């Protein structure tokens, strides 16, 4: 089985969107295009409200991804866990569909005897290690995020450390919203290392509205550009597209 490319959006926020399209709808759109949307809600002393939690869960649910609410101190581990979990989930989705082709519509991984299941999981792990991974990070920089940004930066550096230990290639890109002039601003172009963030992050200004929906939509178009360019070069791109 050949390793394809896994595409993810990682949204880091601390509350509700308050402008533009419904972020869950935009996440569903992303999912349709083969991009998984994961959401991490960072809380500190300011407790997140019920509405915020609901939105975070809904975005991940319709985006086919994973969501988690954490305290800032645990952010590093969570960012890594969420990314990895979403990768496994996507790969499993693909494999489950393959299994259905072979075993029939009603069969699932869980219906196999443990030993066979073990062999299937080995394939999943193998793909998780060797697949190419593209993560577009979307960071909420509304006013309440100000003192959490250093932690966000550290956890992203930690993520690139973890992912770069894999055999498969990685590409990261970082966006913040709201941007200076637009809803969303590109901070870092596609790159295998996130080290450049150390210089850029301290200069960030926070404040303004929280246009989560438009930010996701904008991020999608960035993947699209990427894909059409890369599409000319390689053909394994569509592999994981319609998983789950």
The DSSP code for 101 is H
The mark string for 134-163 relative to another protein (x by CB under 8 A, - otherwise) is ------------------------x--xxx
- Using CB under 8 A, which of the segments 13-21, 41-49, 113-121, 191-199 binds another protein? 113-121
Query: How far apart, in whole angstroms, are the C-alpha atoms of residue 84 and residue 163?
Result: 9
Quick check: 125 binds another protein (CB under 8 A)? Answer: yes
Task: Pick between residue 60 and residue 220 the one whose CB is nearest to another protein.
Answer: 60
Task: Pick between residue 19 and residue 162 the one whose CB is nearest to another protein.
Answer: 162
List Cβ neighbours of 171 (8 Å cut-off, separation of 6 or more): 132, 133, 134, 135, 190, 191, 192
The mark string for 57-96 relative to another protein (x by CB under 8 A, - otherwise) is -----------x-------xx---x------x---x----
- Using CB under 8 A, which of the segments 33-41, 117-125, 177-185, 193-201 binds another protein? 117-125
The mark string for 8-47 relative to another protein (x by CB under 8 A, - otherwise) is ----------------------------------------
Taking the complex as a whole, the smallest distance from the CB of residue 125 to another protein amounts, in Å, to 6
SS3 (DSSP) at 71? strand
Quick check: 164 binds another protein (CB under 8 A)? Answer: yes
Task: Pick between residue 25 and residue 121 the one whose CB is nearest to another protein.
Answer: 121
Whether the CB-CB separation of 138 and 11 falls below 8 Å is answered with yes
Task: Pick between residue 144 and residue 160 the one whose CB is nearest to another protein.
Answer: 160
Whether the CB-CB separation of 243 and 97 falls below 8 Å is answered with yes
The kind and range of the H/E element at 189 are strand 185-191
Taking the complex as a whole, the smallest distance from the CB of residue 129 to another protein amounts, in Å, to 5
Task: Pick between residue 44 and residue 185 the one whose CB is nearest to another protein.
Answer: 44
Query: How far apart, in whole angstroms, are the C-alpha atoms of residue 131 and residue 107?
Result: 26
Residue for token pair 């990070």: 137
Report in angstroms the alpha-carbon separations of 201 from 31, 104, 149, 181, 197: 29, 51, 7, 18, 6
List Cβ neighbours of 156 (8 Å cut-off, separation of 6 or more): 79, 137, 172, 174, 194, 197
- Residue ranges binding another protein (CB under 8 A): 68, 76-77, 81, 88, 92, 109-110, 113-115, 117-118, 121-122, 124-125, 129, 158, 161-167
């Amino acid at each position: 089985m050949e390793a394809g490319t896994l595409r993810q959006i990682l949204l880091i926020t601390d509350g509700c969107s308050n402008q533009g399209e419904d972020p869950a709808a935009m996440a569903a759109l992303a999912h349709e295009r083969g991009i998984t949307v994961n959401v991490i809600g960072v809380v500190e002393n300011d407790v997140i409200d019920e509405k915020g939690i609901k939105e975070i869960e809904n975005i991940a649910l319709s985006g086919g991804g994973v969501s988690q609410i954490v305290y800032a101190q645990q952010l590093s581990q969570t960012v890594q866990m969420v990314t990895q979990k979403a990768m496994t989930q996507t790969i499993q989705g693909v494999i489950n569909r393959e299994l259905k082709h072979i075993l029939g519509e009603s069969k699932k991984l869980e219906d196999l005897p443990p030993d066979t299941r073990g062999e299937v999981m080995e394939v999943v792990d193998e793909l998780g290690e060797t697949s190419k991974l593209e993560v577009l990070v979307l960071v909420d920089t509304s006013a309440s995020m100000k003192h959490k940004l250093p932690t966000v930066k550290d956890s992203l550096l930690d993520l690139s450390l973890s992912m770069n230990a894999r055999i498969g290639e990685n590409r990261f890109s970082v966006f913040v919203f709201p941007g200076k002039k637009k809803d969303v601003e590109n901070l870092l172009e596609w790159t295998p290392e996130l080290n450049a963030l150390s210089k850029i992050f301290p200069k960030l200004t926070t404040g303004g509205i929280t246009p989560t929906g438009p930010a996701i939509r904008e991020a999608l178009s960035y993947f699209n550009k990427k894909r059409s360019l890369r599409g000319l070069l390689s053909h394994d791109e569509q592999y994981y597209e319609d998983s789950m």
